[in-house]
Copies of this chain bind each other. A is one copy, B any other.
Amino acid sequence: MNKTPEIIIVGGGFGGITAARKLKNTGWNLTLIDKKNHHLFQPLLYQVATAALSPGDIAVPIRGIFSKDDNIRTVMDKVLSIDAENNTLELENGENLSFDYLVLAPGAVYNYFGNDDWKKSAPGLKTLGNALSIRERILLSLEKADRIDHPEKRKPYLTYAVIGGGPTGVEMAGAIAEISKRNMMRDFRNLSTDETEVYLVEAAGRILNGYPESLSEKAKQDLEGMGVRVLLNTPVKEIRKNGVVVSDSFIETPNIVWAAGVKTAPLLQTLSADADKMGRIKVRPDLTVPGNDHIFVIGDAAYVEDDDGNPLPALAPVAIQQGKYVAEQIKERVKGRDIKPFSYVDKGSMATIGRAKAVADIRGFKFSGFFAWLLWSFIHIFFLIGFRNRFRVFAEWIWHYITFKRGVRLITNSGKERTEED
């Protein structure tokens, strides 16, 4: 190839950002497209939803990451469709961009399994907007409860239901239990912490599926120790504005968080490539789309099996390693060469349950309790992009650890507020 290659990366998550960083010194024209203007450190999003961190602590503007890299252009827009024949894609503002290599890292969206009307009552936790609306829902609910004297009447406002027992669900349930059982309650003297109920609803037989069984059990015990009611083998029948219908009972609450399942971004369907039931593209060993050597799919959007034939989990480390791989692969392709297939190095998985509580499985070594939490904290702070955030988040955490206080309990854009503005 004689002309300098045009590379387009779709998605500013862990996979897309990593790929872009690895290609920034090539001098090739690289365009990074994302609907949002910021890269989000998703693993800590639940901490924004529970008022421990500010949005600014866990997100950085994508432009800021590449402001010194003249060959990287940042575009804030939505990709509508991909034309694999003519190597072009169409943006929402009508613009068409052409590419020699395309890296698709659009991530995933929450999957309501056809019940999209549940979305309103049970927001997922994927964007800062989600996290802020969950935060406000919880805070407003406490304010409401504080105004109601009759214990039975206020009970729903002190009840929380988290749907889905994966890492996000476990972290949310743990964090909500913390604030509702301790931190927040000091500010609501009318309310007693015994009144609050936190449910973690899981359809399968155990939480943290995909983690070693012993850690699932440990996590369940820890959560129950914090007062969380873990409901296993309990599929959700219906979600209403005022509560969740499970197998045999009704959990009455306006505070519902959806962490039950994800599907890939709709964009990928325009590829008309073979996908699994979650919509993840079944890529080839070099992470390209069958029949398109120059189109890669990585991260939550890609279906890749490990050596035992199990699909790789939708975790940051997978996306990061795949981002590195495609960057290398593209460099070789340009030279007309090729590198060996992608293989994932499992550095272990972990989930935090609450203050000084976590579970971790590092290459077969299983930790839990304070040490696992410490490990979790350091790894997560360490991987935050940008010193500024690292520094702030660290300060925040030290502060919380000492004071038990929640930093950012602000209700900024409630419905009331919006009508005031418009």
Please, how many angstroms separate the alpha-carbon atoms of A41 and B420 in the complex?
A: 19
Contacts of A143 in B (CB 8 A): 37, 76
CA–CA, A391 and B57, complex, Å: 15
Query: Pick the contact of A55 from B35, B67, B123, B408 — CB < 8 Å?
Result: B408
Report whether A128 and B38 are in contact in the complex, using a CB–CB cutoff of 8 Å.
no
- The listed residue (B59, B123, B405, B422) touching A64 by CB distance below 8 A is B405
Interface centre among A70, A95, A127, A417 (most CB of B within 10 A): A417
- Please tell me which one of the listed residues B38, B54, B188, B421 contacts residue A411 in the complex, with CB atoms under 8 A apart: B38
A186 within 8 A of B: yes
**Closest-CB distance, A326 to chain B (whole angstroms):** 25
Residues of the B chain whose Cβ atoms lie less than 8 Å from the Cβ of A408? 54-56
CB proximity of A74 to chain B, nearest CB, Å: 8
Bound complex: CA A56 to CA B57 (Å): 11
For A251, list chain B residues within 8 Å (CB): none
Residue of B76, B93, B147, B407 touching A56 (CB-CB under 8 A): B407
Near B by CB (< 8 A), chain A positions 37-73 give 37-38, 54-57, 59, 61, 63-64, 67, 70
A 382-410 contacts with B by CB, 8 A: 388, 391-392, 395, 399, 403, 405, 407-410
List of B residues within 8 angstroms of A128 by Cβ: 410, 412
Q: Using Cβ atoms and an 8 Å threshold, which residues of chain B touch A246? A: none
Would you give the shortest CB distance from A319 to chain B, in whole angstroms? 21
The verdict on A129 contacting B70 (CB below 8 Å), with A399-B388, A422-B120 known, is no
A59 touches B410 (CB 8 A): yes
Tell me if A277 counts as interface (CB < 8 A to partner B).
Answer: no
Q: How far is the CA of A403 from the CA of B387 in the complex (A)?
A: 12
A96 to B293, CA, bound (A): 71
Which residue of B has the minimal Cβ distance to A120?
Answer: B422
Instruction: Tell me whether A129 and B418 are in contact (CB under 8 A).
Output: yes
A218 contacts chain B at the CB level, 8 A cutoff: no
CB of A87 closer than 8 Å to a CB of B = no
Residues of B within 8 Å of A77, CB to CB, are 147
Q: Which of B57, B119, B410 contacts A38 (CB 8 A)?
A: B410
Determine which residue in A61, A119, A395, A405 has the highest number of CB atoms from chain B within 10 A of its CB, and name it.
Answer: A61
B residues within 8 A CB of A129?
A: 412-413, 417-418, 420-421
Known: A127-B421, A129-B418. 7 other contacts (CB 8 A): A37-B409, A95-B147, A132-B412, A133-B421, A388-B399, A388-B405, A392-B395
- Between A and B, 10 residue pairs with Cβ closer than 8 Å are A54-B55, A54-B56, A56-B408, A63-B188, A76-B411, A77-B147, A127-B417, A129-B417, A129-B418, A129-B420
